[in-house]
Structure 1
């Protein structure tokens, strides 16, 4: 298949077989559950593409997530993202990969991106004080929030990966937890 690079930046836009394709690195998204408090931890952050998509302030609630743009084991990357975005320390070995670790296409009609979904249970001792986190060198400011388990099924989710993780969780992952 012939490919021509149309644009190169954070993403790369290619033209392949006459179709534009957005090439971006794959990602990982992690649902964090605190069994003792029976709550899920998510992050809120402003996303410029969501402003362009029509959301007034562009603030969206998401699972901790990141790009596989460094040569790291997927569980190690997931643990780093959970700490970076939520201020919660987890061991890579404690992270469970969902779907047997097979990454899922996020928007296969346009993007090459595939996302590995993951889950981790935590204790209150793993949670750093504060609410605001992120990486300044990435211009990232995140706010940690928690959703009580009894409110999770009615909580409004606007992010596909987070919706998938929560549905997986509600369909049985938390039973007996």
Structure 2
């Protein structure tokens, strides 16, 4: 009996080795086997599959995928003040891979945990910034690291101001999950400059800031314009 396969793991899941076995959308891919390497909190799988190359020959391949569920992120903005509201928190993976102190400035974000993306990001915005937002504006949905991580991230934007504040304090986040999150309000132009200098090094945040400059709330071009102007030098 194996936890996560035929008996529940610590999150009550079973059948984790069945995920991805029945895929039929790509005739060039035939899934042969799925092994669960780890299911402590998220799930690490090794999939064996046959792949037909462009010249017609088949090869046997293996890939590992890390499944942490899908997530959502949001850029909170105030166009009157021309500011954005971001967060700062410790990120161990960044710290062990060269970031000076692991304290990353980011847009509020979190996993869906079974909720619809819009519902999840409203929850995360309140937990991480103390602001209750209205209906968020969908921006785009992307795969952030498709070579190894299955996660799809849903991007949103919404205005904020003092009227949307429901909780004030020195720290936000869910204490039971070890979160210790501070808010960082920045002039929009300063936030863009921090991308250039490395002060903001989080991919989702950079994508949202560039969207805001190109066609979002701080754009000088008409909505949905195909004319893109560079924001990073």
Fold-level match, TM-score > 0.5? yes
Query: How far apart are 1:50 and its partner, in Å?
Result: 1.3
Residue 97 (structure 1) aligned with residue 97 (structure 2): no
Query: How far apart are 1:149 and its partner, in Å?
Result: 2.1
Q: Deviations over 1:32-79 (max 9, x none)?
A: 00233221000000011112112232110110000012x322111111
Query: How far apart are 1:172 and its partner, in Å?
Result: 2.4
With CA pairs under 8 Å and 6+ residues apart, which has the higher RCO, 1 or 2? 1
Q: Deviations over 1:87-143 (max 9, x none)?
A: 11113xx201112xxx21010000001100000012222124334211101110100
Partner of 1:162: 205
- For the pair shown, the structure with the greater C-alpha radius of gyration is 2
- 182, 190, 195: which one pairs with 1:143? 182
Equivalent residues in 2 for 1:16-95, closer than 5 Å: 16-17=47-48, 18-69=62-113, 71-91=114-134, 94-95=135-136
Tell me if the contact between 1:34 and 1:124 (Cα under 8 Å) persists in the aligned partners: no
Structure 2: distance between partners of 1:161 and 1:56 = 19
Structure 1: distance between partners of 2:213 and 2:78 = 14
Which ranges of structure 1 fall in alignment gaps of 5 or more residues? none
TM-score (norm 1): 0.90
Give the match's secondary structure for 1:37: coil
Partner of 1:133: 172
Partner of 2:38: 7
Structure 2: distance between partners of 1:152 and 1:39 = 9
Tell me if the contact between 1:39 and 1:146 (Cα under 8 Å) persists in the aligned partners: yes
Query: How far apart are 1:170 and its partner, in Å?
Result: 0.7
Query: How far apart are 1:80 and its partner, in Å?
Result: 0.8
Which ranges of structure 2 fall in alignment gaps of 5 or more residues? 1-30, 49-61, 221-233
Tell me if the contact between 1:62 and 1:159 (Cα under 8 Å) persists in the aligned partners: yes
Tell me if the contact between 1:35 and 1:123 (Cα under 8 Å) persists in the aligned partners: no
Tell me if the contact between 1:82 and 1:88 (Cα under 8 Å) persists in the aligned partners: yes
TM-score (norm 2): 0.69
Ranges of 4+ aligned residues in structure 1 off by more than 2 Å: 127-131
Give the match's secondary structure for 1:132: coil
